[in-house]
Amino acid sequence: MLKQVHLINPMGNASGGSEWRTLRLFEELSKRCDVQLWSSSEPNSRFSDYPIRKIDLSNKSFPMTGTFIIVGVYHELEPWIDLARPTRTILIYNTSRLDQLQDRLHTLQRFGNPKVEIVFAARWLMDACRLSGPIEMSPIDLQRFAPAECERDNGSNRRFTIGRLSRDHAKKHHPNDIGIYHHFVSEGGTVKIMGGRCLAGELDNVSEITLLSAGAQEPDVFLKGLDCFFYRTSEKYFEPSGRVVSEAMACGLPVVCHRRGGYSEYIEDRVDGFLFDTDAEAVEILLTLKADPALRKRVGQAARKKLEASLAPAVRDEFLRFYTR
């Protein structure tokens, strides 16, 4: 009999890293066990191709037993969880909210359910809460997120393009990046931001800057139209792991990221990506990459190799065996 596994997430945000982590796990686990997808809120229509079941206590529609894999700590689990009898409970901690983690652990264990096993999205998250468990990079489909088939042409017919994608929210963008974008286009570059309509007031009138709403393109298609990936968030939001950075690295892009972010533990500075501390450093790195195709290619190839190693079949098999044991 196949192992029964339930993946539980709100599934409400089409640009959310937790949602895409959940879906990728579903794709992987479907090959080896009976896995069900559950949403704790109304699932986003973007996910209509997936067999998502909405948790509905009134209709007794919720996971009852088997292995529960709860992705994220920011969604409520009550009251249905009080009626469930999981044989195993795994919580994926990928958001820097220790208060929510403690609350969810209390909810899951107060009725004597199996001790919760925690999977951490980054080492710093584990160290910060002084608990232990496996550390799992958000799984990515390396065939989908792959380098563009044709060589990126940065000759006279195409301007060097930097870009980023995220949720369309001000906290996902650092206010100083406005100045960096203006400086960069003044040096002959272009900028594309998906999830950047919140910046329209400052950037909409700049012809070299394209602002798209979140989800306007498939993320892999968007990334393959860039020459470099640039990323940092406001000081009001600490990026816990930054799946979008890993996706860009998988696409063979040189990534230029602020050092303040959980993704920094996956980047070896100036080998498979670049980490900066100040605005001046960011501008210098971007302009250096613009002028040096060989450097872009070398760092982009190293980034791709890093992701291939981090998500190698043997690595993923070990995690999938952990989830289904």
Which residues are registered as beta bridge partners of 276? 258
Structurally, what CATH architecture does the domain formed by 4-136 represent? Answer: 3-Layer(aba) Sandwich (3.40)
The full length of the chain comes to 325
Residues 287 and 199: their CA atoms lie apart, in Å, by 22
pLDDT value of position 274: 98
Q: Which residue has the tokens 């996910």?
A: 47
Q: For every one of its 325 residues, what pLDDT tens digit does the chain have, with 9 covering 90 and above? A: 678 999 999 999 998 999 999 999 999 999 999 999 999 999 999 999 999 999 999 999 999 999 999 999 988 898 999 899 999 999 999 988 999 999 999 999 876 778 999 999 999 999 999 999 999 999 999 999 999 986 555 444 679 999 999 999 999 999 999 999 999 999 999 999 999 999 999 999 999 999 999 999 999 999 999 999 999 999 999 999 899 999 999 999 999 999 999 999 999 999 999 999 999 999 999 999 999 999 999 999 999 999 999 999 999 999 999 999 9
Please report which residue ranges of the chain form alpha helices under DSSP H: 17-29, 98-109, 123-129, 177-186, 200-203, 219-223, 243-250, 279-291, 293-310, 313-324
Residue spans of the domains in the chain: they are 4-136, 161-309
DSSP 137-194: PPP--TTTS---SSPP--STTS--EEEEE--S-GGGS-TTHHHHHHHHHHTT-EEEEE
C-alpha 123/C-alpha 154 separation (Å) is 37
Which residues does residue 184 pair with via DSSP β-bridges, in sequence order? none
Distance CA 69, CA 286 (A): 40
CA distance 5 to 69: 7
The C-alpha angle with vertex 92 and arms to 86 and 94, in degrees rounded to 5, equals: 155
pLDDT of 156 reads 47
| H/E element, 39 | strand 34-39
Looking at the DSSP bridge assignments, the partners of residue 193 are 164, 211
Residue 142 token pair:
């390396």
Measuring CA to CA, how many Å separate 159 from each of 146, 182, 282? 22, 15, 19
Tell me the pTM: 0.94
3-state secondary structure of 315: helix
| 61 DSSP β-pair partners | 56
Cα–Cα distance measured from residue 137 to residue 240, given in angstroms and rounded to the nearest whole number: 11
Q: Does domain 161-309 have CATH number 3.40.50.2000?
A: yes
